[in-house]
Amino acid sequence: MADLSTNYLGMNLKSPLIVGSCGLTTSLENVKLMEKNGAGAIVLKSVFEEEILLSLHKKARDASKDKLLYYEYSETYDYLDIHTRNEELENYLQFIREIKKEVLMPVIASINCVTDTEWTDFAMKIQEAGADALELNLFFNPTGFKIMDVEKKSVQIVKKILKTVSIPVSVKLSSNYTNLGHTIQEISEKGVQGIVLFNRFFSVDFDLDKLSVISSDIYSSPGDFTKPLRWIALITDKIGCNIAASGGVHSGKTALKQILAGADAVQVVSILYKNGIDHLSVLLNEMDKWIEKKGFNSVSQIKGMMSNKNVKNPEVFERMQFMRYYGKLFD
């Protein structure tokens, strides 16, 4: 059996497969099953700043309706604010404490951030609860029509969190940055220990019968792995921190491709929703077989073998258009 262990965020993982942030990591039973089936680590469902605010507003509205609380008085509102937040967030912290008693693999907490003010205290509490690391999900999706310096805001959030906690911090980015390579490099230089490429946003679709707006497929497709693959291959030699691939990894072979591009770890979500948590062992088995068949003996041996620096035609990673004679590039 090949050595599948890897190093990620300064931690030794027994396998490079990490269960990414999602609803599957909200149950202790699931988390235990993930460890049993070979997960190297898990990322907890994100604490959504937006979700907490929505719940706060709902409770405030309900309270004002039955006149038990006088929502219009600002002091009551302040109490409600603190109370609601504490309840939701305490559950999250309690869950970290609970799973840390039950599993040995690293537990990575996750915060959805859009500001550099809201969450910094909570990051400290996550550390105190025993999380091994923190993944910041920078959730910018600039759909407005004004110039918005998302790159600058992202760096501000990262700097603030790094001042707050001492556990390793990774940053999960979208690909919606004007100058993605520069942004990744700048964030990595601020002292984060890992970059996760990429997060996946909710996307819309239309129901033609009802003429209504609906959610498109929430799960990724197997072809989605190519964008992270390209970017990991491009930047792996240009940044000094770990990289985790995320998006479209539906097979052991795709996970191997991300490692060959330079990823230290690979996050999986959709495939586990589709095939069950025990499918992790199928993916790992596929990876193990390929590594042995190729005459290698470890994940670390193949890491980055096909990065920008190591392939014959690195220009293919930068190419955006097909050329009439593109076949020549791939000979």
Ligand X SMILES: Cc1cc2nc3c(=O)[nH]c(=O)nc-3n(C[C@H](O)[C@H](O)[C@H](O)COP(=O)(O)O)c2cc1C
Contacts with ligand X by CB under 6 A lie at 20-23, 45-46, 110, 137, 172, 199-200, 218-220, 224, 246-249, 268-270
130, 102 Cβ separation under 8 angstroms: no
CB nearer to ligand X: pick between 80 and 106:
106
217, 189 Cβ separation under 8 angstroms: no
The helix or strand, by DSSP H or E, that contains position 212, with its residue range, turns out to be: strand 212-215
Query: What is the closest distance, in whole angstroms, from the C-beta atom of residue 88 to ligand X in the complex?
Result: 14
Query: What is the closest distance, in whole angstroms, from the C-beta atom of residue 260 to ligand X in the complex?
Result: 18
CB nearer to ligand X: pick between 80 and 258:
258
Query: What is the closest distance, in whole angstroms, from the C-beta atom of residue 210 to ligand X in the complex?
Result: 23
Query: What is the closest distance, in whole angstroms, from the C-beta atom of residue 157 to ligand X in the complex?
Result: 14
Tallying the residues shown for the chain, one arrives at 331
172, 246 Cβ separation under 8 angstroms: yes
Encoded tokens for 65: 């309706």
Say what the alpha-carbon torsion angle 234, 237, 242, 247 is, to the nearest 10 degrees.
Answer: 10
Burial of 268 (0-12, 13-18, 19+ CB in 10 A): buried
Query: What is the closest distance, in whole angstroms, from the C-beta atom of residue 17 to ligand X in the complex?
Result: 10
Give, in order, the Cα–Cα distances in Å from 205 to each of 83, 227, 233: 37, 21, 31
CB nearer to ligand X: pick between 250 and 303:
250
CB nearer to ligand X: pick between 60 and 228:
228
CB nearer to ligand X: pick between 247 and 262:
247
Query: What is the closest distance, in whole angstroms, from the C-beta atom of residue 254 to ligand X in the complex?
Result: 10
Q: CB neighbours (10 Å) of residue 12?
A: 10
Q: Give dist(CA 138, CA 49) in Å, integer.
A: 11
CB nearer to ligand X: pick between 27 and 297:
27
